[in-house]
Structure 1
Amino acid sequence: MDFELVTDTSSNLVDDVIERFGIHVLPLQFTVDGTAYQSYLKGEKSDLKRFYTMMREGKVITTSLPILSASDKTLRGILERGKDLLYLGFSSGLSGTFQATALLLDQLAREYPERTVLYVDTLAASGGEGLLVYKAALMASEGASIREVRDWVEENKLRLAHWFTVDDLMFLFRGGRVSRTSAWAGTMLNIKPVMHVDDEGHLVPLEKVRGRKKSIQGLFKHMEATALEPVEEQTVYITHGDCPEDAEALADLIRKRWEGIDITINYIDPVIGAHSGPGTLALFFLATGRK
């Protein structure tokens, strides 16, 4: 193909997909007790289990926007090689990452007028963003043009359903997603929220159920109610905050309902995980709509 795909680490892509399609991943940054880390380094394996262990131990973790000098180097390198580029970015409703990168891309487009530089605010996060990138990469590998791929993502991004649950509401409180009162009351009553990412790219609580098992079943029921047919031919992404057994339990529910369906399971990256916490479980699929 004559263009290259770029995303960021919030897409939570597995290494095999990144390598298979030559996708460029812009790393976001987080700090643990004052020490800065990049959430993705090409060719290096991150110990995400250790990251979530540090969260459980009460380490102070903060996140920040991408390092623009590193992003500039990656993006400029693509254009210098004579390639066009398409950036599919983390929801502007959850982070300033997309806006910052879009400004940089506008500047580069002026510097390289002979190149096509396009971008899409996916209004998506985690495996939702990743699934859109994966679909875009498949289209590009089959010969679709940069504009055809961009248009497909724009037309379908609000059909990419995001369903989440968390195990500890206090992490959502620290991230400003719920009030202190709701977090404490929910913890005492073993309440688990079922949330989704809406059409504006915001994380929105929709339901409250009691207990982890019911919250996992809640994610599955939303897929059963809204997934686009033929469901068994879909690719589904599941991401988790160091709770692989729960991710497999959700995958088993889906496989029993739709035999042969393709499911990819991966960890949630530190930048998203820092706000949602250990035990976060998320499900992504194409649907009639996000809700």
Structure 2
Amino acid sequence: MRDYVIVSDATLDLPYSIIEEYGIMVIPMGVDIDNVAYNFHPDEKELKIDEFYEKLKAGADTHTTQITPIVFTEYFKNILDEGLDLIYIGFSSGLSSTYNASQLVMEELIKEYPDRKIYCIDSKCASIGEGLLVYHAALQKRNGLTIDELKEWVENHKYNSRHWFTVKDLFYLKKGGRVTSVEAVVGTAFRIRPVLSTDENGKLVVVSKIRGSKAETEFLINRMIKEGEDLKSQTVIVGHSDNLEQAKKLAEEIRSMNVVKDVIISQIGPVIGTHTGPGMLALVFMGKKCDL
């Protein structure tokens, strides 16, 4: 049976140690900072995450770019030419057309490599929600699933990646069209922080609004307790964008509850950080959607 690799993109925001340990291949993504173009790799070899947030807080103008069909073609062909099949788990199509580009490339490469298996899956997830799904896919691969079995597993479980996050500065969301100018001004003035997740179409939605860091922690933990399934066997992920102190407090509180196997803290990279700004706090776990 031919071996295969799991491929994702730089929006997954997993710690590089996990990416390396499980042999996950990650396609870098472009970030422009004050008209200087960078490719962001999980090992930060071209752009350091801390340096990115320092520039962002200093007022840098930042934009992100999608993965082009040319890049997908080159990356996928390199894998196929090594005699490996591949399964790509990509950033939500509700937030980017990157996944659609991968689909077009897959359709062309199947003609060129008719005896090979090339699968592209829309994660319907963002950031560490996508990362959590990829991490669990890697665990399933290590447990012996074939590429066809893993494809089915990911399709069946992608909505079980429950991801919740808050942001500190609403102006970054306003820039991306997620909140109005009035909401941004009022929300920032009164320290109102929106709670966001993704819907069934993988689009970002504001699901609640809270005030203060204590309320943030309580909300995120309550969602984990309500929606999480088999938490005792799970490693959950706390994500943050230049917000390590609060992320550590959230992780410590979860550990003190003794309800999960482990907690990983991961820093949100520049691709997602451009749209959330510094101060984001997130918690992701496997579970099922429940009403607020």
Same fold (TM over 0.5): yes
Q: Cα–Cα, structure 1 residues 88 and 280, in superposed 2: closer, same or farther, change >3 Å? A: same
Q: Cα–Cα, structure 1 residues 259 and 224, in superposed 2: closer, same or farther, change >3 Å? A: closer
Q: Is 1:192 equivalent to 2:168 in the alignment?
A: no
> Partners in 1 of 2:36 and 2:73 — Cα distance?
23
- Residue 68 of structure 2 contacts residue 98 of structure 2 at CA under 8 Å; is this kept in 1? no
The alpha-carbon deviation at position 226 of structure 1 amounts to 1.3
Give the corresponding residue for 1:274.
274
- Residue 29 of structure 1 contacts residue 67 of structure 1 at CA under 8 Å; is this kept in 2? no
- Residue 234 of structure 2 contacts residue 260 of structure 2 at CA under 8 Å; is this kept in 1? no
> Partners in 2 of 1:59 and 1:66 — Cα distance?
22
Q: Cα–Cα, structure 1 residues 7 and 153, in superposed 2: closer, same or farther, change >3 Å? A: same
Superposition CA RMSD, Å: 1.6
The alpha-carbon deviation at position 65 of structure 1 amounts to 0.8
Which AA in structure 1 matches 2:117?
T
Which AA in structure 2 matches 1:267?
Q
Which AA in structure 2 matches 1:232?
K
> Partners in 2 of 1:268 and 1:42 — Cα distance?
13
The 10-residue stretch of structure 1 (66-75 or 240-249) with the greater mean CA deviation from structure 2: 66-75
Give the corresponding residue for 1:258.
258
Work out the percentage of aligned pairs sharing the same amino acid. 39
> Partners in 1 of 2:286 and 2:75 — Cα distance?
30
Give the corresponding residue for 1:218.
219
Q: Is 1:178 equivalent to 2:190 in the alignment?
A: no
Unmatched tracts of structure 2, length 5 or more: none
The alpha-carbon deviation at position 142 of structure 1 amounts to 2.0
Q: Cα–Cα, structure 1 residues 172 and 115, in superposed 2: closer, same or farther, change >3 Å? A: same
The alpha-carbon deviation at position 7 of structure 1 amounts to 0.3
Q: Secondary structure at the match of 1:10?
A: coil
- Residue deviations 1:246-284 (CA, integer Å, cap 9, x gap): 111111121122256211111111111101100011111
Which AA in structure 2 matches 1:16?
S
Give the corresponding residue for 1:285.
285
Give the corresponding residue for 1:228.
229
Give the corresponding residue for 1:150.
151
The alpha-carbon deviation at position 70 of structure 1 amounts to 3.3
Give the corresponding residue for 2:35.
34
What's the TM-score once normalised by structure 2's chain length?
0.95
Which AA in structure 2 matches 1:268?
I
The alpha-carbon deviation at position 69 of structure 1 amounts to 3.1
The 10-residue stretch of structure 1 (36-45 or 100-109) with the greater mean CA deviation from structure 2: 36-45
> Partners in 2 of 1:29 and 1:20 — Cα distance?
24
> Partners in 2 of 1:32 and 1:43 — Cα distance?
15
> Partners in 2 of 1:178 and 1:220 — Cα distance?
25
- Residue 93 of structure 1 contacts residue 201 of structure 1 at CA under 8 Å; is this kept in 2? yes
Listed as ranges, the matches of 1:230-249 within 5 Å are 231-249=231-249
Q: Is 1:136 equivalent to 2:137 in the alignment?
A: yes
> Partners in 1 of 2:40 and 2:186 — Cα distance?
33
- Residue 161 of structure 2 contacts residue 286 of structure 2 at CA under 8 Å; is this kept in 1? yes
> Partners in 1 of 2:234 and 2:9 — Cα distance?
23
Which AA in structure 1 matches 2:243?
C
- Residue 163 of structure 1 contacts residue 283 of structure 1 at CA under 8 Å; is this kept in 2? yes
The 10-residue stretch of structure 1 (162-171 or 215-224) with the greater mean CA deviation from structure 2: 215-224
Give the corresponding residue for 2:65.
64
- Residue 6 of structure 1 contacts residue 88 of structure 1 at CA under 8 Å; is this kept in 2? yes
